Amino acid sequence: MKIGIIGCGAIGSDVAHAADSFPEIDTIFLHDVDEKSEKKLAESTEKGEVVNSETLLEKSDVIFEAASQEAVKMYAIDVLKQGKDFIIMSIGSLFDDDLREKLEETARKHHAKLYLPSGAVCGIDGILSASGDTIDKVTLVTTKPPKALNKNYKKRTVLFKGTARDAVQQFPKNINVAANLSIAGIGFDKTLVEIVADPVATRNSHKILAHGRFGRLRAEVENMPNPNNPGSSYLASLSAIATLKRIVNPIQIGA
């Protein structure tokens, strides 16, 4: 299998290094607008190869995006039209209902799949299962050190309180977990989000609270920041790697 990686930052690098050890993967095509990043990643992997976007889309069997919401809009449709699976990390891009519906229609038509890793949260599988019946309320509380949000607050500050749709628009690089939670559960307009900057916090934390006919759910995780990007949780990278394993593995775990 040949995998293409769009975005050679912290998460893309973690995925590439993991994929380097997968016997099922023989080639890793790398592409980033930052030539230094893609070159550095290629040099640190055995199977990595820097290519342009056209070559990546043409030769890859599966394509992994870890770049930006703009990259999803730029490449996803073309990938799916070729019948190839697309793994999206910038899930906040899917708050655009028209885009999300178009991607779903294209994937169905060309027998391709969109994979949305659970990212830096726990409990997505529970929400997905519970969505088979009525869910009354879902709330996500995200707390991060100020520097992870490019802020410099001296006391605990609530930066945002509102719907997931507004959250992913205002914090596109920090709250992708809200998008995934919304898609798995009751949607962008009903899912509630609170984003907090806390100078006492040493880790990025996410707490999901939900209740409905299934019962009550409370899932909380305190993440270590990614060593190469304090704004991203290391669990997000591990989730992406787990998704890639799921594609190549015959055993499927989870909802």
Token duo for residue 218: 């409370």
Q: Please check whether residues 22 and 47 belong to one and the same domain.
A: yes
Query: Residue 135 is part of a domain; what is its CATH number?
Result: 3.30.360.10
Segments forming the whole domain that contains residue 131: 124-224
124 pLDDT above the threshold of 80: yes
159 pLDDT above the threshold of 90: yes
Average pLDDT over residues 238-243: 96
Q: Please check whether residues 64 and 14 belong to one and the same domain.
A: yes
**Cα gap 156→154, rounded to integer Å:** 7
Q: What is the pLDDT at residue 150?
A: 84
50 in any annotated domain: yes
137 pLDDT above the threshold of 90: yes
Q: What is the pLDDT at residue 155?
A: 96
**Cα gap 79→145, rounded to integer Å:** 36
**Cα gap 85→230, rounded to integer Å:** 29
* pLDDT digit string, tens, across residues 166-213: 998 898 877 889 999 999 999 999 999 999 999 999 888 999 999 999
Q: Please check whether residues 145 and 164 belong to one and the same domain.
A: yes
193 in any annotated domain: yes
C-alpha pair distances (Å), 43 with each of 112, 237, 255: 31, 20, 37
**Catalytic site residue 206?**
yes
Give the least confident one: 33-37, 87-91, 135-139, 171-175. Answer: 171-175
Of 31, 110, 111, 206, catalytic? 206
User: What is the band of 231 on the pLDDT scale with cuts at 50, 70, 90?
Assistant: low
